[in-house]
């Protein structure tokens, strides 16, 4: 009997979802993986809640008509916080969101001080406050919102000079570990899917070793569980972008992961898909 790989669509506003795609691809599950980036609207953190609740379900519904995923991963913290329920209401397939790894960070810390690195929007959201109250009560959580680090991840995959990326990581670490109480941080929760793409640079810039946590492995386990996927090599499919021209410098990063077919997704409300030249 030949196993048919279930199709998973990983969605983000930019390239950050590649950190989640990497985790799923490394999970030894026989899955077909596609990627979709709404990069014409990047960053989502600057859009209103109402705008995202309207756009994200419409975009994913339309692309799903063409790509027929069995499951969608909303690999974006902002979209997961704001639009996840609207996406689930619009689609009759499993939808997996991203949760900041505050719970495992609280379990791992020995000093009782956790760093929370996210976008400016995420660090301020009531949902983040609720997670901290529920899972990190009694811990000190030092928050830092960084839009610059999101931009650095996008630039890294587009081939920017290494010095630019290391400088952004150094600035971020200086702010996080230099904050009051920051000298005691021993675990950092990465609450933006862009940030694991900079894990090496962040670890090198930190003033001392610490644990850097993200949600990738947890998401991969959940995807495999929901689809009951057998063991096997993942199959990399296509990647689509709402601004394919702007994403062209990052195409080699997708190719390095095994994605060879690129699609252009047109504007709302039709979100029509067509091959993108490379």
What amino acid positions are annotated as catalytic residues?
Answer: 76, 192
Query: By the 8 A CB rule, do 29 and 233 touch?
Result: no
Give the DSSP letter of residue 9. Answer: E
- Helix axes of 216-227 and 18-25: crossing angle, nearest 10 degrees: 60
Q: In this structure, are residues 243 and 40 in contact, taking their beta carbons and an 8 Å threshold?
A: yes
Alpha-carbon 224 to chain mean position? 18
Pairwise CA distance, residues 144 & 263, whole Å: 35
Classify 36 as helix, strand or coil: strand
3-state secondary structure of 42: coil
Which residue, among 143, 164, 145, has the nearest Cα to 154 in the 3D structure? Answer: 164
> Token pair for residue 15?
């390239």
């Amino acid at each position: 009997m030949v196993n048919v790989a279930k199709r998973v669509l990983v969605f983000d506003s930019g390239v950050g979802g590649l950190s989640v795609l990497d985790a799923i691809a490394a999970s030894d599950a026989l899955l077909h993986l596609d990627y979709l980036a709404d990069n014409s609207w990047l960053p989502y953190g600057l859009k209103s809640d109402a705008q995202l609740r309207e756009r994200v379900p419409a975009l994913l519904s339309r692309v799903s008509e063409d790509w027929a995923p069995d499951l969608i991963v909303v690999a974006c913290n902002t979209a997961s916080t704001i639009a996840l329920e609207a996406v689930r209401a619009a689609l009759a397939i499993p939808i997996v969101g991203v949760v900041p790894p505050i719970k495992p960070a609280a379990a791992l810390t020995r000093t009782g001080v956790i760093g929370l690195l996210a976008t400016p929007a995420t660090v301020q959201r009531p949902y983040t406050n609720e997670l901290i109250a529920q899972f990190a009560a009694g811990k000190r959580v030092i928050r830092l919102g960084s839009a610059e680090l999101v931009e650095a991840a996008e630039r890294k995959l587009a081939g920017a000079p290494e010095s630019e990326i290391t400088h952004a990581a150094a600035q971020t670490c200086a702010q996080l570990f230099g904050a009051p109480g920051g000298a005691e941080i021993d675990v950092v929760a990465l609450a933006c899917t862009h940030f694991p793409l900079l894990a090496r640079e962040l670890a090198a810039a930190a003033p001392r070793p610490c644990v850097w946590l993200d949600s990738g492995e947890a998401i991969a386990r959940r995807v495999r569980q929901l689809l009951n996927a057998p063991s096997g090599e993942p199959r990399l499919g296509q990647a689509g972008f709402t601004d394919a021209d702007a994403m062209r410098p990052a195409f080699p990063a997708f190719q390095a992961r095994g994605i060879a077919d690129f699609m252009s997704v047109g504007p709302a409300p039709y979100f029509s898909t067509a091959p993108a030249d490379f």
